[in-house]
């Protein structure tokens, strides 16, 4: 099958790799090089890097200009496949390929339409999430879907869950394309009564708070990322909490808003129990495990709180 692929972040790379191995990828469309890490150097998108590895033709665009539309038409693809491209597609693009335009979405639609389905599934304590192969429509993730695959959520960070869903999505996309091509795919319209919206994560949402429960704070840590880190103030200094877990009942306890160090382990008191620090990154310093951080503290007890 002749395919045009559109995608940008690491989440999209497994889909591109599977397509390149099984089909003819006529064109890869991705967002332009950008500053993607610390420093001022422009870096290619993960999808562009993968496309160049496969010696695939690449076009960079952040909007559908007449020039981009001309290139898409010239590709003469049977289907357009999208995974986190990051650009609104006009009707002309959605109907350009004979088999239409399908998207790999990182949720079990209609749950978690929107920008941050993976983080929202973690924050809400979902038992499972997954990927959906859907048609792209006019609304945000409103199209019908023809295939879904699921995986468990608990115990996985946002990065870990993203990587797992990316692989799951790539496999599902390639396994579903034959049914889309021969018309045997069964499309299911989304039940609007079951829709939940995955709004972009605000940094304030992931600030740890002693007034919240230990499990809620743990989920904030698990859902965090470089763009929206889980932060708090501990021993009077702002830090990013990299890894943490709700402590069990047998662990040492601390009052809400206080921390205690026992045997090199650090426990932060929450509204209903304690959160155990596993690794931490004080501002201006490298990441370190909780034991190393505790070794640098003068006192074994102190206060912690929400970052203002």
- On whether 108 is known to bind a ligand per the annotation, the reply is yes
Domain that holds residue 232: 203-306
- On whether 98 is known to bind a ligand per the annotation, the reply is no
Count of the separate structural domains present in the chain = 2
The closest alpha carbon to 14, from 177, 173, 180, 136, belongs to 173
**107 shares its domain with 182:** yes
Cα–Cα distance between 80 and 94 in angstroms, integer?
8
Q: What is the pLDDT of residues 257-275, one digit of tens each?
A: 999 999 999 999 999 999 9
Q: What is the per-residue pLDDT for 250?
A: 86
**139 shares its domain with 40:** yes
**68 shares its domain with 139:** yes
Share of the chain above pLDDT 90, in %: 91
**191 shares its domain with 219:** no
Q: What is the CATH number of the domain that holds 50?
A: 3.40.50.170
Per the prediction, the chain carries an average pLDDT of: 96
Phi then psi for residue 2, to 5 deg, are: -90, 125
H or E, element range at 229: none
The 8-class DSSP code of residue 159 comes to H
Q: Considering 198, 233, 256, which residue would you say is the last residue of a domain?
A: 198
The closest alpha carbon to 9, from 137, 106, 132, belongs to 106
Residue 37 has pLDDT above 90, yes or no: no
H or E, element range at 111: none
Residue 76 has pLDDT above 80, yes or no: yes
- On whether 107 is known to bind a ligand per the annotation, the reply is yes
**22 shares its domain with 109:** yes
**81 shares its domain with 194:** yes
The 8-class DSSP code of residue 185 comes to P
Q: Is the pTM of this model over 0.85?
A: yes
Q: Considering 153, 178, 198, which residue would you say is the last residue of a domain?
A: 198
**181 shares its domain with 228:** no
* Six token digits for residue 203: 């940094």
**49 shares its domain with 192:** yes
**267 shares its domain with 292:** yes
CB 144 within 8 A of CB 169: no
The closest alpha carbon to 101, from 136, 133, 69, belongs to 136
Q: What is the pLDDT of residues 88-132, one digit of tens each?
A: 899 999 999 999 999 999 999 999 999 999 999 999 999 999 999
Q: Residue 231 pairs with which residues in a beta bridge? A: 240
Q: Considering 198, 231, 263, which residue would you say is the last residue of a domain?
A: 198
């Amino acid at each position: 099958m002749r395919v045009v692929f559109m995608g940008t972040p690491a989440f999209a790379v497994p889909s591109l790799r599977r397509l390149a191995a099984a089909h003819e990828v006529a064109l890869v469309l991705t967002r332009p090089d950008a500053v993607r890490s610390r420093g001022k150097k422009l870096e290619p998108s993960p999808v562009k890097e993968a496309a160049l590895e496969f010696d695939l033709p690449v076009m960079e665009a952040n909007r559908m200009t007449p020039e981009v539309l001309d290139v898409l038409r010239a590709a003469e693809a049977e289907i357009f496949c999208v995974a986190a491209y990051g650009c609104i597609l006009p009707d002309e693009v959605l109907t350009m390929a004979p088999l239409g335009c399908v998207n790999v979405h990182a949720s079990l639609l209609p749950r978690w339409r929107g920008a941050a389905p993976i983080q929202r599934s973690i924050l809400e304590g979902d038992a499972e999430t997954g990927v959906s192969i859907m048609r792209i429509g006019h609304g945000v993730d409103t199209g019908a879907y023809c295939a879904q695959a699921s995986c468990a959520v608990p115990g996985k960070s946002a990065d870990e869950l993203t990587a797992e869903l990316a692989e799951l999505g790539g496999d599902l996309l390639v396994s579903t394309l034959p049914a889309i091509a021969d018309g045997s795919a069964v499309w299911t319209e989304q039940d609007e009564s079951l829709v939940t919206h995955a709004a972009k994560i605000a940094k304030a949402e992931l600030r740890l708070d002693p007034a919240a429960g230990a499990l809620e704070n743990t989920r904030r840590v698990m859902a965090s990322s470089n763009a929206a880190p889980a932060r708090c103030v501990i021993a009077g200094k702002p830090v990013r909490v990299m890894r943490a877990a709700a402590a069990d009942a047998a662990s040492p306890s601390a009052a809400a808003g206080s921390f205690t160090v026992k045997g090199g382990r650090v426990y932060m008191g929450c509204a209903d129990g304690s959160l155990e620090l596993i690794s931490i990154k004080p501002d201006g310093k490298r990441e370190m495990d909780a034991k190393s951080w505790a070794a640098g503290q003068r006192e074994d007890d102190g206060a912690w709180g929400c970052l203002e």
